[in-house]
Structure 1
Amino acid sequence: MSARTPIVLRDADRDDAAALIALWSECAAASLDEGSEAFTQQALWREPGVAEASAALDINLGQPNKRMVVAVADDEIVGATVFSLNTLTPISLTRVLIVTEIQVSPRFRRRSVASMLLSAAAHHGEDNNCEIVVASIPAHSREPHRYLAKIGFNQIAIVRAIQASKLTSRLTGKATNSRDTGKLIAVRRTLRRRQADALGAGTRR
């Protein structure tokens, strides 16, 4: 019997963009059969191009309080996690570590990859005097939720999402007591953005 491929951890960098797109896409595809909650979550997933992913990595990895660690097997990225330092509330100094991603290739599950990634996050939290670790996981991701509950995580919050344009439209409608007025303002803003994009494209030619 051949030995399992060893898995090593390292910090992510900009050159990992294509590999990370492949990992996120593989994980998203694997969750398609997990019910209506998964379908709702999929609506938020859009596969980026390499240039966009590289630019996003530049932004995220450039934040001093944020780290991204990847798990690598045979030069392939098979897992990743993102964690950042913050305070528990804006008016307290209780430090917390917030884990916002735990992605593991379906082909490498049951290999303790998630445990390795979370352990790296926990050690980073300890090194920075964090008292609490918070994990934000998509609602449909049943296995990660089971795993986190098994090792002692408790549910403390519910995260909800909405498209920014839809939120603006609905809140404007409530503020003016007119749904039609809110929709009209949202349409005007969309048209202004498109005109600005068109002018920008013309300038670059």
Structure 2
Amino acid sequence: MASAIEVRDARRGDAAALVALWRELSTAGGHPSRLPATPSEAAVEVAVSKHLDDPFGRLLVGELDGVVHGMAYLRRTAISPLHEDLTVTIEYLHVSDEARRHGLGKALIAEAVGWAEHESCAHLAVVAPAVAREANRFLARLGLGQAGVLRFANTHTVRRRLAAEHAPNLLALLSSRRSVAARRAQLGRSFPAAVPPLGAVPPLGTVPPLGADVTYPAEPESAGT
């Protein structure tokens, strides 16, 4: 006898099942992922209530014989900042290990397709972990090709890496540009009749007119660092 499948919008009472699914999703493959930590049931209840009133997003759950075993988050947005076409993106698509190969994943995607058609969205996108081979093969069979790789990190990590690897060179470049700009501005004020075009470099050996009051800006504090 075939299992009964139902896909619907999540309710507050689904909080415990959603927490369990998130915990399983964040440790898929036997090792922790970069996803945020598993939220509390109270936090999930609040989040579910917000999604019920969101016209641009839906949090779905999939039931197998009356028990929640799957979830997916749908977002309706422009396909790019340069196009008017809309797309529905499926994120955090997950079916529990014990409920796989029963059609629950297909049912969740079918609901996303139906919503996309209802909202006149001509495109569908799915975010899937690059290391999830089985999931990517499943999506490829449905006609979804790879368009990119989503990388995830907290802002503190990225800022720390930028400071460690790029800041010294970046600060030196900015200091050099500020020094050149200040020197050109000062020369422009001293010799208004001989201001070179923007970006031009005065020839070496140029001597200012006799009696001209030439001053130079102080060395930037960051110079030489």
Same fold (TM over 0.5): yes
What do residues 48-107 of structure 1 show as CA deviations (whole Å, max 9, x unaligned)? 211222233344444320012211134320111111111111232111111112111111
Secondary structure at the residue paired with 1:92?
Answer: coil
What do residues 115-157 of structure 1 show as CA deviations (whole Å, max 9, x unaligned)? 1110000010011111111111112222110001112111111
Q: Could you say which residue in structure 1 is the equivalent of 2:177? A: none
Higher Cα radius of gyration: 2
The alignment-based identity, stated in percent, is 27
Q: Tell me the matched-pair count.
A: 170
Does the aligned pair in 1 maintain the 2:34–2:153 contact within 8 Å? no
What do residues 146-197 of structure 1 show as CA deviations (whole Å, max 9, x unaligned)? 0011121111111112221111223345664189xxxxxxxxxxxxxxxxxx
Q: Could you say which residue in structure 2 is the equivalent of 1:97? A: 88
Q: Could you say which residue in structure 2 is the equivalent of 1:138? A: 129
Q: Closer, same or farther in 2 for the Cα pair 1:29/1:92, shift >3 Å?
A: closer
Q: Which runs of 5+ in 1 are unaligned?
A: 33-38, 180-205
Is residue 14 of structure 1 aligned with residue 9 of structure 2? Answer: no
Moved over 3 A (4+): 26-30, 58-62, 172-176
Q: TM-score, normalised by structure 2?
A: 0.67
Alpha carbon RMSD of aligned pairs, Å?
2.3
1:144-159 aligned at under 5 Å gives the runs 144-159=135-150
Q: TM-score, normalised by structure 1?
A: 0.73
Does the aligned pair in 2 maintain the 1:21–1:53 contact within 8 Å? yes
Q: Could you say which residue in structure 2 is the equivalent of 1:121? A: 112
Task: Identify which of 75, 78, 87 aligns with 1:84.
Answer: 75
Q: Which runs of 5+ in 2 are unaligned?
A: 171-225
Higher helix share: 1
Which structure's relative contact order is higher, taking Cα pairs within 8 Å and 6+ residues apart?
A: 1
Secondary structure at the residue paired with 2:131?
Answer: coil
Q: Could you say which residue in structure 2 is the equivalent of 1:111? A: 102
For the residues of structure 2 that align with 1:72 and 1:124, how far apart are their CA atoms?
18
Is residue 167 of structure 1 aligned with residue 165 of structure 2? Answer: no
